[in-house]
Structures are given as structure tokens and as C-alpha cells.
Structure 1
Amino acid sequence: MHDLLVVGAGPYGLSVAAHAAAAGLGPRVFGRPMASWRDHMPRGMFLKSEPWASDLSDPAGRLRLETYCAELGTPARHGTPIPVETFAAYGQWFARHAVPEVDERTITWIAARPGGFEAVTDDGERVAARAVVLAVGVLPFVEIPPVLRPLDPALVSHSSHHADLDRFRGRDVTVVGGGQAALETAALLAEQGTRVRVLARADRLRWNDVPPPLDRPRTRALRAPHSGLGCGWRNWFYAERQGLYRRLPGTTRSRIAATALGPAGAWWIRDRVEGAVEVLTSHRVTAARPVPGGVRLELDAGAGRPSRSLETEHVIAATGFRATRDRLALLSPGLRADLATTPDGAPVVDHAFETTYPGLFLAGLITAPAFGPSMRFVHGATFTARTLLRGVLRHLRGSRPGGAVHVPVDRDLREGVGVAGPA
């Protein structure tokens, strides 16, 4: 039985695995390194975060993005966005240097067993571990508005479904959303000759400011300090004091997690959108139905203005992600049901990222309600890896033979469910 199984090989999974390996745990890591960055983002996209806020985490702090870029001869500079392809390659480089061999098979099922857990790979192998970290990224939590869900995938897709936008050349596409994913997708579509428009519920698009220099007068730095989530003391708190954030009242945490750092476009894409992409603000899709050649959208323009409709060949929903317990489909129903949740459906985690089921830890977006907005960004990986490892070590001390922790057998595993579990 392995001490630790890490499910997911994105920035959070690789960072946790690097810290666990340095602690001598010999983690078993499953997943295709940086898969969502390699397979679910179109060519030509850039990181929104600053390069210095986009490091994966190794205990010694040597495997930073700037180190990788320097090896390529392309220094990572403040105020200069990094191509997604470069970041994905950096993650693969990090994995080769900091993590034991990554098994690129997919874990499809996890259930409890005496003394820990048993996972099943996509080709049927069973792997036992005393502790499990789920670092499954954002893809299990794709959110498409209910009004669009009944449409055929040929007519509607999520922005994360596209590694290549070439299929839309010369066509008419409507992008729903007002954040970075919507605006950058629309810009890329327009630049390749697609007829594209953006529908946003907000009354106007919001744009992030050009970041001030890292070196600036002390008085200005004190008024609005830099942080991994942007300038300002509030962002600094979210980025650097996640442990204190968790001590806020639950209702406050939920409100901040839902509203802080809301939809906005990066400063460097503004010129590529304004004047190049049709933007319809204050518009909400109220109905959608297939028509010959595409889909017809009924729109509410709000403020007493008349409703309108439009026809388009395809809708891309750049509408984010909703991370809830019920979308953790790789957990057996029995194990999933044992996880307590917050009022908005996210699993409860303690100060070390452990769920209410002993030995099961979470990392990444799904922990944002507990630890704040930084869990939505790569910047949160360092705090997560350091803190979560302490929780894993604490759990292992109690769960090894002779310890006091008792894990019941999950009835789904006992009854033979799992090998044919959901992907």
C-alpha cells in the first residue's frame, strides 16, 4: 500500500507531489502532466497572471518559471504575458525535475477500503493508498448555463473544450461571458476571420489595469502592494494570508469566493477586442433552440428594453466552473456522500485541506470557498502544497498499523463496483 496517491498532474497536483517526494513519501502520481493547459486552451492564449505569480512549488524554490524561461533564453518579465504553450512546457519540465515518475493513466474510481483507499485506473488496475489527494483541476466542474445545456454539442460548447479554434474559421460564433476566457476566445476568433460577438450580462466590460512596475517609490508600494492576485491590500490578503482567510465567518468566505476578482479582461487584450469584436452588454440568454444552420437565441436586454433574438452557428459558453462535491464523479457514491459540504455545495475541508472523510484531501479550485480566491490561480499552489503535506503527515502517523484511525470499507467497493466506474 502506498502512503500517498495524487490524482491530477496540473500545477496543484505536481506541487503537492514535489513536496511529498521531498518529504520521503514516494507519492504515486496519476494524470497527464499539464493536460488542461496542453489540451484545453487554444494556441495563441496567454497567462493572465504575472510570470512571478505563476510558479509551481518545490520545497527549495529552485524550479521557478523564470528559471525555465531563462534556460530557453526568453526571460519572464513583469508586465509581459507568458504564452500558455510556454507555461505548459514549464509544468512538464517541473514534473521531470521534482516529481517521481508520473503515471499518465486516468483514475476513474476511488473508494474506501480498510486502512485507506483503493483507486481504479482506466485499464482496470487497482492501486491502494493510505491517503489520497484530489487535484483534479477545473475540467470536472465545467459550467454551462441551464438554458444552453439541452442543445446538441455541435451547437454549444464550453470555452475549455477547445484546443483549436480552426473549425470556426469563416463561421458565425457567439461567445457568452464577460471574463478573460470569453474575451480572449473572441479575440482569437476574430483574428482568424470568424464572425464573432460577445454576450455579457454586466452593463459594461471590465478591464484590469496595466500593472505598475515592481520597483516603485515606497509610498506607492505601501498604498497598493503587489501580490500574486494583483495590486492592493485586499488582493494581498487573499494571495498571502490564506490561513487567516479560512478563519473568516463562513458566510463571508462564501460571499468573497463568489464575487472577488470577478469577470474582467487583461489589459493586454483590450485593443484586440474593442473595435474588432461586437459586444452586447446587459444581455442575458433566456431561451435557445436549434434552427437550420445553427441556433436561435432569445435575449433579455434588461432595463425595460425590448427583448431581441439572434441566430448564430455556434455558441461558446465562457461561463466558468462550479466546483461542488456532486461533480466529483470519480468518488464512489458512498465516499462522496460521506463528505460534508458548505451551503453552496463545495466539500468542507479543514485547516490542512483534509475533507471530513479521514485521509481524503482536496487541492485547487474546489477549496476556494475555504481558502479564498487564490485557489483559483496557480499562485495558490505553494500555500496548498506546504499546508496539505502537513495534514498528510499527520494523517499517516495516525493511520499506520497500531494507530487509532479506523476507516470502514466502502460498500460500493465491497460490492464490486469500481472497475466499471465512471470516467
Structure 2
Amino acid sequence: MIQPVAVIGAGPFGLSAAAHLRARGIPVRVFGEPMVSWRDHMPAGMLLKSTPAASNIDAPQRGHTLADYCDAAGIPRLVTDEDIIPVETFSAYGEWFQRKLVPELERVRVVSVDRRQGGGFELKLDSGELFTARAVVVATGLSGLAHLPPELAAAADGPAPTGPVSHSSQHHDLARFSGKELLVVGAGQSALETAALAAEAGARVRVISRGRGRVTFGAAPWQQPRLRPESPFGRAWSLWALSRYPHPYRFLPAQTRHYLVRRVLGPLGAWWLRDRFEGRVEVREVAAIAGSSARDGNPVLTVRTHAGRTEELTADHVIAATGYRVNIAAMDFLGHELRAELAVSRGTPRLGAGYVSSVPGLYFTGLPAAASYGPVMRFVCGTEFASPRLAKHLAAAHG
């Protein structure tokens, strides 16, 4: 009996990789809740920053784009750069993609993955089942990677929606902050949209922008320069190169690769968010957050101003919209020995051709692959590059 390939994760990258593997006739077992991060860990009413062209989950055959889903669902097509995608529509698109192309999805959790003597991997599911896979594709998305800076951690014993400090990924319904004083730390789209949605729900919101970051918004599609090439992220030569040619990215110096992943398309609000934000949300730009504490159950942030003063900011709650950090140590479903074998760079797996790690048969796609293949792997459109190449490499190496 041919051992299957295990795909862990059922978000856009996991579903796309599984669809490509199935199209090659490779036996696949896929595990996870479809689109769970998009459905349960994004705020209700959120709109995607990415354009429709950058939001297609790559499939091995035609007929599975976001526009195709809109046609099948009987809703207006989302196709132009000016069309804005509700998160609920995108989640439903992913679930439709899964039903069409990955119907055998198993809604169970992988508890552990270990190397098996003689080759392959042994996986344990939360159902208690043990089985062997010839290869494993890790596509767990943002799960377990929420980043809380240490200067915010002192105010709470871990981020929690009901505690003094939480992470933006822990909130689906922001209406619970109606009538409350809320501090949102960050200057990227997640911070600005969370702040706008909370303000619209009746909260009094201040955004705390740290360091040299300023609250800014991108240009509308009709305001972008026409003499530059189009990319899924906007018109710029650098964005075009990073999105169309991720192949050589992994050969750049490590410092350059990690810098570009952090800074390209860094903190910037979507063009359509400006009118909902300005005049409704207060912005406080500080040099740094020096520390935090809790006073009578409420958070207190100690900040250093750009003038060199120290001040305290108080509120009913702090939401850290401080992004995600890839760290192999946080992927505790990977066995300790397996994690110890992996070659890493600043906590991220070092990947070779075809998205394979230093452990033969173990592949990573999505955000964990960004340090090797560039910022495009932070976005759904990265599936167009990653999935066919991963499937081709795996088929050749384990065919």
C-alpha cells in the first residue's frame, strides 16, 4: 500500500497544495478546519486589504477563482482593483474551494509528527489514530504564531480577550468593547482596521504607533503610477520582481531576506480605510513602549515620547496588533528530535527548491516559507508560485 502525503492545515496554502498533489494522483490526507483563521480569528466586518487578483487560491485546473465562486454563489463578481472583499466572502470562497477540490478533508488535529526509522513520518491524530506518511506538508498558517512583544507581556499572564492585554487574532466580535477605552498597538492594516471597527462598535479608541512608524494609507488604484508594472500588491518594480520571481530570493544574504519580509508592504492602511479611520480614531505616535503593568485589573502602558519624556497611558484594554513571528519552537506538534534536526534561520525553516526543508520529505508553505521565498508567501497569491512547485518536487522525490 502506498503511504499518503499528509497536509497539515486547511487554509489557502494547505488547500491549494492538497489540490495540486491530488491532481498528480498522489494519495493525500489533509487535516484541519477549513479556513479557520479567516473565519474565527479575524474581526467580523473586516475587509481584505488584498485585491481580487491577489486573492485567488491557486488550483491545478480552471474554474476555481474568487470570481468563479461569486458566479456559483450568485453574488456580484469581485474582479477589479476597486472591488473590496469582505472576510466572510473570502472564507466562504475557501470552503467552496475545499468542497470542490479537497472533499476528503479530515476535520481532526495532528497531535504529533515524528520521523520514522526506515523512512517516512509517523503522525498521531487527536482521534488517537496513528499512521505513516511518506511526506508531510506543513501549512498551518498563522496558528500559534501570534507575536506579543515582551514590553506588553508584563501586563498580563499571556494575551487573553478577557484580560488586560490581548492579540488582535483573539477577537472576532469587537462589539464587546462598546463604551470602553481601548488602546490598539500597531500601525499596520490589522491595527488600523481593528481600531476602525471597534470605534464603529462604540469604543473610544487610540492607536499607539511605535518607533519611526507613522499611520499612513496606500494610494487608491486610480492614483497609482501607470508607467510601472502591475503586481498583485500595486505598481512598483520591486513589488513586481518579488511577486513574479521568488526563485532567487533564497540565495540572498539572510539579513537581507529577513529585512525584506518585515519591511516590504510593511505598516500601511488600505486606501479605502482612511475615511473610516480619520476623525474617529485618535493616533498617538511614541518613540517606544518601555513597559506595561496592570492596575486594578486594567492595563497601563509606559511610553517614551519622541521628545524623550516618559508617560503612562491607561485604558480598559489593550489589543496588540503586532503581527506574527515564525518560530519552529512554537510548532510543538513537530517532535522535539524533528525540530532539532531542522536547519533554521532566525527561527524559520531554511527551505530548498520545491519548499523542502533540510529534513527530506518535510515541506513548509505559506508564512513559514517567507524567509526563503520572499514576502509574496505572506499573501494568498503566493499559492500560485508555491503549490505547483511543491507538488512537482514532492512527486519527483517521492514518486
| Same fold at TM > 0.5 | yes
Shift of 1:226: 1.4
Deviations 1:298-355 (A, max 9, x none): 1111243x2211211111000001102222111010000000111x221111011100
Shift of 1:239: 0.9
**Separation (CA, whole Å) in 2 of partners of 1:56 and 1:356:** 27
Deviations 1:155-186 (A, max 9, x none): 11110111111221211111000000000000
- Report the RMSD for the aligned CA atoms in angstroms: 1.5
Correspondence 1:35-50 to 2 at 5 A: 35-50=36-51
Work out whether residues 46 and 83 of structure 1, in 8 Å CA contact, stay in contact via their aligned partners in 2.
yes
Correspondence 1:182-197 to 2 at 5 A: 182-197=191-206
**Counterpart in the other structure of 2:376:** 374
Shift of 1:288: 1.0
Correspondence 1:75-224 to 2 at 5 A: 75-78=77-80, 79-114=82-117, 115-150=119-154, 151-152=156-157, 153=160, 154-201=163-210, 202-212=212-222, 221=226, 223-224=227-228
Work out whether residues 8 and 139 of structure 2, in 8 Å CA contact, stay in contact via their aligned partners in 1.
yes
CA distance 1:213–1:300, change in 2 (3 Å): closer
Work out whether residues 157 and 317 of structure 1, in 8 Å CA contact, stay in contact via their aligned partners in 2.
yes
Instruction: Give SS of 2:314's match.
Output: strand
Shift of 1:248: 2.9
Deviations 1:245-271 (A, max 9, x none): 233333322221222111110010011
Decide which of 304, 314, 317 is 1:314's aligned counterpart: 317
**Separation (CA, whole Å) in 2 of partners of 1:166 and 1:285:** 27
Calculate percent identity across the aligned residue pairs: 43
Which residue identity lines up with residue 59 of structure 1 in the other structure? P
Shift of 1:283: 4.3
Decide which of 329, 335, 338 is 1:335's aligned counterpart: 338
Shift of 1:140: 1.7
Work out whether residues 199 and 284 of structure 1, in 8 Å CA contact, stay in contact via their aligned partners in 2.
no
Decide which of 325, 343, 356 is 1:354's aligned counterpart: 356
Work out whether residues 10 and 36 of structure 1, in 8 Å CA contact, stay in contact via their aligned partners in 2.
yes
Which residue identity lines up with residue 59 of structure 2 in the other structure? D
**Separation (CA, whole Å) in 1 of partners of 2:36 and 2:65:** 19
Please, which moves more after superposition, 107-116 or 88-97?
107-116
Instruction: Give SS of 1:33's match.
Output: coil
**Counterpart in the other structure of 2:248:** 244
Which residue identity lines up with residue 233 of structure 1 in the other structure? W
Work out whether residues 246 and 351 of structure 1, in 8 Å CA contact, stay in contact via their aligned partners in 2.
no
Instruction: Give SS of 2:348's match.
Output: coil
Deviations 1:354-391 (A, max 9, x none): 00001000000011111000000001011110111112
Which residue identity lines up with residue 283 of structure 2 in the other structure? V
Instruction: Give SS of 1:6's match.
Output: strand
**Separation (CA, whole Å) in 2 of partners of 1:208 and 1:59:** 33
Work out whether residues 303 and 312 of structure 2, in 8 Å CA contact, stay in contact via their aligned partners in 1.
yes
How many corresponding residue pairs?
A: 389
Structure 1: where are the runs of 5+ without partners? 215-219, 398-423
**Separation (CA, whole Å) in 1 of partners of 2:54 and 2:34:** 20
Which residue identity lines up with residue 221 of structure 2 in the other structure? P
Please, which moves more after superposition, 28-37 or 136-145?
136-145
Instruction: Give SS of 2:303's match.
Output: strand
Which residue identity lines up with residue 30 of structure 1 in the other structure? F
**Counterpart in the other structure of 1:409:** none
Which residue identity lines up with residue 107 of structure 1 in the other structure? V
**Separation (CA, whole Å) in 2 of partners of 1:387 and 1:208:** 32
Q: TM-score, normalised by structure 2?
A: 0.94
**Separation (CA, whole Å) in 1 of partners of 2:75 and 2:293:** 51
Q: TM-score, normalised by structure 1?
A: 0.89
